[in-house]
Amino acid sequence: MLAPGAVIGILGGGQLGRMVAGAAAALGYRCHIFTPERESPASLVTPFTTVAPFDDEAALARFAASVDIVTFEFENVPAETAEFIAAQGRAMHPGPDVLRVTQDRVREKDFLRSVGVATTDYREVTSLAGLRRAVSEIGPRGVLKTVRLGYDGKGQVMLRPESDLAEAWQRVGGEVAILEALVDFACEISVIVARNGAGETASYPTVENQHVNHILDTTIAPARIAPETAARAEAVARHVVAALGMTGLLAVEMFVTKSGEVLVNELAPRPHNSGHWTLDACYTSQFEQLVRAICGLPLGSTAAHSDAVMKNLIGDAVDTWRDALADPLAKLHIYGKAEARPGRKMGHVTRLLPRS
């Protein structure tokens, strides 16, 4: 067990790291952020920051030597960086093996299938001819995605019967991609689950996610779905985190089909935007839960004391912050980013709906 006073190293300096650092500070831990970015949201609230590229081995070695444990808030940390840290003898949770699976959409779906978890039909595609073959096998309606480094809908092309496949192949980079059958979903949901080193797991209630331009816009907690479906989603999340054997936090994004089936879309082995509501509406936030899990503390209660609706403040929407302050049931979180570019997550507001 790592007792309060220890130093947690966090790879990545975004808002997720900032909120982990806040939770860690409340429990008496210190954080050291490693990020290529100056003035990052996380570094503004932590005592120690290293600003260096992820391939700077000298800086990584100094960072590893100065912390007691390492985690990440950005899952596209290069696998080599994670392996280098692990080779320094520093515990890293989740480990490089988990990153290897979740950084690659094909490996991730192959893994899910191998442990009996349902996903939409998919094919790995490595050429235009392969794309044509995949379309003939799984149908003309699909989503073609880059295998790596895609998030918030980046590197994705929607395919329809009339789509020009050569153009779509160019748009995803023309090297290696995954074609997924389009899911005609009733809604999108997610479950965040924690697992500690003793193998104990705790899942948060299933929430419903609404996207705008492929970016999460609103999370509704709990999800407005049948209780059996929510329970099934939570069981899937606990099964996947146990099958990965990881210590830390896993977000499992899923589709609920019109026939009530639950299909896993994507995994993120870190705190997740769809869990921000837990900061204000649950006894233990996802950020505190991550600290508890990786430091070997008992996991906290994942129960909610209020229902909640979380809305992201994207780009200029951050200018509405005064409105949130005027509402006694709204909790405002701003990430400290200097420039409100379109599509950039600048903050969020959680409106609590206390249970009577």
Q: How far is CA 97 from CA 82, 92, 335, in A?
A: 9, 10, 30
d(CA 13, CA 32): 10
Q: How far is CA 201 from CA 115, 194, 268, in A?
A: 17, 5, 16
Minimum gap (Å) between residue 105 Cβ and ligand AMP = 7
Cβ–Cβ under 8 Å, residues 177 and 220: no
**Residue 46 or 312 with smaller CB distance to ligand AMP:** 312
**Residue 183 or 221 with smaller CB distance to ligand AMP:** 183
Two tokens, residue 332: 């405002």
- Residues between 127 and 146 with contacts to ligand AMP, criterion CB under 6 A: 143
Binding window for ligand AMP (CB under 6 A); candidates: 36-44, 107-115, 177-185, 226-234: 177-185
44, 59, 182, 187: which one binds ligand AMP (CB under 6 A): 182
**Residue 104 or 266 with smaller CB distance to ligand AMP:** 266
Minimum gap (Å) between residue 114 Cβ and ligand AMP = 19
30-35/7-11 β-pairing:
parallel
Minimum gap (Å) between residue 55 Cβ and ligand AMP = 25
The CA radius of gyration of the chain, in Å to the nearest whole number, is 20
Kindly state the number of chain residues that form the binding site for ligand AMP, as judged by CB under 6 A.
13
Cβ–Cβ under 8 Å, residues 125 and 178: yes
Residue 86 CB neighbour total at 10 angstroms = 16
**Residue 15 or 120 with smaller CB distance to ligand AMP:** 120
Residue 150 binding ligand AMP, by CB under 6 A: yes
Residue 179 binding ligand AMP, by CB under 6 A: no
Of the chain, the end-to-end C-alpha distance in Å amounts to 38
d(CA 77, CA 85): 11
SS3 state of residue 338: coil
**Residue 91 or 176 with smaller CB distance to ligand AMP:** 176
Binding window for ligand AMP (CB under 6 A); candidates: 180-188, 222-230, 268-276, 300-308: 180-188
Give the x/- contact pattern for ligand AMP in 195-234, rule: CB under 6 A.
----------------x--x--------------------
The enclosing H or E element of 166 equals helix 165-171
Two tokens, residue 78: 């290069």
Minimum gap (Å) between residue 24 Cβ and ligand AMP = 28
**Residue 93 or 276 with smaller CB distance to ligand AMP:** 276
- Residues between 74 and 133 with contacts to ligand AMP, criterion CB under 6 A: 120
Cβ–Cβ under 8 Å, residues 315 and 343: yes
Minimum gap (Å) between residue 158 Cβ and ligand AMP = 8
Angle CA 67–70–73, to nearest 5: 130
Minimum gap (Å) between residue 237 Cβ and ligand AMP = 16
**Residue 143 or 352 with smaller CB distance to ligand AMP:** 143
Which amino acid does the sequence have at 111?
Answer: F
SS3 state of residue 297: coil
Can you say whether the dihedral through the CA atoms of 314, 315, 318, 324 is positive or negative?
A: negative
The enclosing H or E element of 81 equals helix 79-87
30-35/48-51 β-pairing:
parallel
183, 268, 313, 314: which one binds ligand AMP (CB under 6 A): 183
Minimum gap (Å) between residue 234 Cβ and ligand AMP = 19
**Residue 206 or 265 with smaller CB distance to ligand AMP:** 265
- Residues between 244 and 283 with contacts to ligand AMP, criterion CB under 6 A: 253, 265-266
- Residue ranges that bind ligand AMP, judged by CB under 6 A: 120, 143, 150, 153, 180, 182-183, 188, 211, 214, 253, 265-266
